Structure 1
Amino acid sequence: MKNCERIANIALAGLTLAPLFVKVDPNLNVILTACLTVYVGCYRSVKPTPPSETMSNEHAMRFPFVGSAMLLSLFLLFKFLSKDLVNAVLTCYFFVLGIVALSATLLPAIKRYLPKRWNDDVISWHFPYFRSLEIEFTRSQIVAAIPGTFFCAWYASQKHWLANNILGLAFCIQGIEMLSLGSFKTGAILLAGLFVYDIFWVFFTPVMVSVAKSFDAPIKLLFPTADAARPFSMLGLGDIVIPGIFVALALRFDVSRGKGSQYFKSAFLGYIAGVVLTIVVMNWFQAAQPALLYIVPAAIGFLAVHVIWNGEVKQLMEFDESKTAASSQEGSETSSSKKVE
């Protein structure tokens, strides 16, 4: 599993840098980058302890409405305020967020070369004048934050498409790695809601496309083209992260049963099919497309067909990662108490 993740990491890094040196077809670049990012994020999400914080059905139902409110707010900000001013504020925000995301992404590779106590000893720091606010970190995290800080400074000063993409990839990998849907029922509710959300804001209003073009921040991946009128193709990070956390749940379901990655393969294949179909339709109609319109039915459909074929619908629908996390925590507390005795 680790070898596959390392190969995918190397391939993703090479694919990201490739347009600097050779001509890469942007359509192929979109497909490979999106799929490799989901693959890496999924395998990084497999950890000994399941996520303790999971999304509830209520949160999943509210998510499209919260997302719509944020999207409309950004649209109004760009409409009534200076675009440069809004982007300057957002650059400061993403500068800090980028350091956190990049350091967290680099940490697993860096910490293995550092002393063990640098990874284990936690340092607590209180904000001046706000003693109730506390940040905990390790020396390894500080070391990982150093290259992240220089890189984010380069992004803020140059806004180069490569810097934008690397930050975007870090956000995607961290999102897929850290977020948990809890259950497939919650995942289906979230994806169904965002399926409608994406269609509405792309096809029925100019809001989504307008914000994507005005928002000068790493909320989208940029792929250089040879067309001077349209120098970049774009893919929103939500089209990677949202389906990615669903595919990652399928992988952790497989791991929890110790039966290999059978359902992960079908969900991941569905994601690939959805991304490919998005690119085909976009080029056919020469118009922006809501990627979730194609990705959501493909990812859920491929997984559903596989589960029904195996006759394991009940097992999949009963899987609840929050209960798994609770039982794991109880088990660790029990073992700790036995050691104390």
Structure 2
Amino acid sequence: MDSPKVTIIVVKTDMALNIAARDVVNIIVAQATENVKENATNATGKPPSTPEGMAVAYGSIVIMALLPIFFGAYRSVNYHKENKPEKMTKKDAAIFPIMASCALVGLYVVFKLFSKEYINLLLTGYFFFLGVLALTHLLSPVVSKLVPAAIPNIPFHITFKQGEGELAQYLINYRFSSYDVVSLAACSLVGAWYLIQKHWIANNLFGLAFAVNAVELLHLNNVITGCILLCGLFFYDIFWVFGTDVMVTVAKSFEAPIKLVFPQDLLQNGFAANNFAMLGLGDIVIPGIFIALLLRFDHSLKRQTKTYFHAACLAYFLGLMATIFVMHVFKHAQPALLYLVPACVGTPLLLALVKGDLTALFKYEDSPEEKIEEKKKDEKSNKPEAKKVK
């Protein structure tokens, strides 16, 4: 009798980062609950912050939210030119809110059945590994320039190949240099800082790295796909925040660097401050990958200006400010996508209508969707199988 078929996973650097980014996004979307924390006295007994402290905190949150979108979008353009990134199809976008809902309910059940201390211990190790990789990928070019010239930049290439000739397939194909090793060591120190103290600065470094990498690596294929994804998550966010206590329960139990935080009492207590305003990474990454698509569309128009990208960034800023304003008026945490999705989708569509680019906007594709489906089928059919055991 033939032995069961064994699927061998192909591991490459960009593919591993892409999978990690997608994995993180699934979790942060499923958990992105208290998008911006209320500043009034809460259950922990923390006193309300001063107006100055709140202004510093929310201003910093807004700036930190814009930076990953800006840099991640430009990195996505370069990544698209140099690689063939995996793209989200309309079908993927349609089922994504369902997958996120399943992940959310799964986390809710797990936290109800098991001790959250042990679960968070496991998640801490998982996000330490992902955080160090993401931060290394982000900072490696910067760290490499700071390494003294006395240290030689020695290239390395690790390969593991199956088969010979035209049938050969690389199971591992990883290039790096000694400078990358230095960058990895430096980022590991940040990871150790996070493991030991869970300090908010270390949390933000990991959070920013996750957000930039996700915007860079996760590509929407066209505007229609982006609209399907954002509209689906628009209703997802409203339902799970206002309709049930599932999201709030998970958010209060889940400890991981999947949100950006900034202390509102920084002016009073310095770096030991602990009364935080926060923004979930899902509220950065989801609009961010759509804004990155608009930047690639701007590049395809061959114009001197990045009109749609800049307009979407401005819309995102205004949507985030509207979230904060409504939260303070009603004294209740708000689902940020309720305000960000109409702003980020409606603004470029209205601008395209005014400028006469609406047809070009909807026709634009990074690559035809039929080719994406064919590529996925080819990858499935070309997966190596284990040899039969007699």
TM-score (norm 1): 0.81
Secondary structure (helix, strand or coil) at the match of 2:219 reads: coil
Give the aligned partner of residue 326 of structure 2: 281
1:218 equivalent in alignment to 2:218: no
Greater C-alpha radius of gyration = 2
My pick for the range that moved more, 104-113 or 182-191, is 104-113
The Cα of 1:84 is off from its aligned counterpart by 0.6
1:297-326 CA distance string (max 9 Å, x none): 0011111110000111111111110249x8
Give the aligned partner of residue 288 of structure 2: 244
Which residue type is aligned with residue 296 of structure 1?
Answer: V
Change (3 A) 1:100 1:280: same
- Distance (whole Å) between structure 2 residues aligned to residue 292 and residue 273 of structure 1: 12
The Cα of 1:118 is off from its aligned counterpart by 4.9
1:32 equivalent in alignment to 2:63: yes
The Cα of 1:113 is off from its aligned counterpart by 6.0
My pick for the range that moved more, 69-78 or 93-102, is 69-78
The Cα of 1:211 is off from its aligned counterpart by 1.6
The Cα of 1:133 is off from its aligned counterpart by 6.3
Identity percentage of aligned residues: 43
1:201 equivalent in alignment to 2:245: no
The Cα of 1:272 is off from its aligned counterpart by 0.8
Are the equivalent residues in 2 in contact too, given 1:53–1:322 (CA < 8 A)?
Answer: no
Give the aligned partner of residue 123 of structure 1: 158
My pick for the range that moved more, 219-228 or 92-101, is 219-228
Change (3 A) 1:272 1:85: same
Which residue type is aligned with residue 71 of structure 1?
Answer: L
Are the equivalent residues in 2 in contact too, given 1:52–1:322 (CA < 8 A)?
Answer: no
Give the aligned partner of residue 362 of structure 2: 317
Give the aligned partner of residue 297 of structure 1: 342
Are the equivalent residues in 1 in contact too, given 2:68–2:215 (CA < 8 A)?
Answer: no
- Distance (whole Å) between structure 2 residues aligned to residue 254 and residue 102 of structure 1: 28
The Cα of 1:37 is off from its aligned counterpart by 2.4
Are the equivalent residues in 1 in contact too, given 2:323–2:334 (CA < 8 A)?
Answer: yes
Give the aligned partner of residue 258 of structure 1: 302
Unmatched tracts of structure 1, length 5 or more: 1-21, 127-131, 327-341
1:87-236 → structure 2 map (5 Å cutoff): 87-112=120-145, 118=153, 121-124=156-159, 134=172, 136-139=174-177, 140-226=179-265, 231-236=275-280
Are the equivalent residues in 2 in contact too, given 1:125–1:136 (CA < 8 A)?
Answer: no
Give the aligned partner of residue 44 of structure 1: 75
Which residue type is aligned with residue 309 of structure 2?
Answer: F
Which residue type is aligned with residue 289 of structure 2?
Answer: I
The Cα of 1:75 is off from its aligned counterpart by 1.5
Which residue type is aligned with residue 175 of structure 1?
Answer: A
Which residue type is aligned with residue 248 of structure 2?
Answer: V
Secondary structure (helix, strand or coil) at the match of 1:138 reads: strand
- Distance (whole Å) between structure 2 residues aligned to residue 91 and residue 135 of structure 1: 28
- Distance (whole Å) between structure 2 residues aligned to residue 298 and residue 119 of structure 1: 48
The Cα of 1:142 is off from its aligned counterpart by 2.4
Are the equivalent residues in 2 in contact too, given 1:101–1:171 (CA < 8 A)?
Answer: yes
Give the aligned partner of residue 49 of structure 2: none
Change (3 A) 1:155 1:113: closer
Unmatched tracts of structure 2, length 5 or more: 1-51, 162-169, 372-390
Secondary structure (helix, strand or coil) at the match of 1:322 reads: coil
- Distance (whole Å) between structure 2 residues aligned to residue 108 and residue 188 of structure 1: 34
Change (3 A) 1:51 1:295: farther
The Cα of 1:208 is off from its aligned counterpart by 1.7
Change (3 A) 1:119 1:77: farther
1:56 equivalent in alignment to 2:89: yes
Secondary structure (helix, strand or coil) at the match of 1:321 reads: coil
Which residue type is aligned with residue 180 of structure 1?
Answer: H
Aligned length: 299
CA RMSD of aligned residues (A): 2.7
Question: As a proportion of its length, which structure holds more helix?
Answer: 1
- Distance (whole Å) between structure 2 residues aligned to residue 200 and residue 284 of structure 1: 21
Which residue type is aligned with residue 331 of structure 2?
Answer: Q
1:54-97 CA distance string (max 9 Å, x none): 10001001110111111111112222211110100000100110
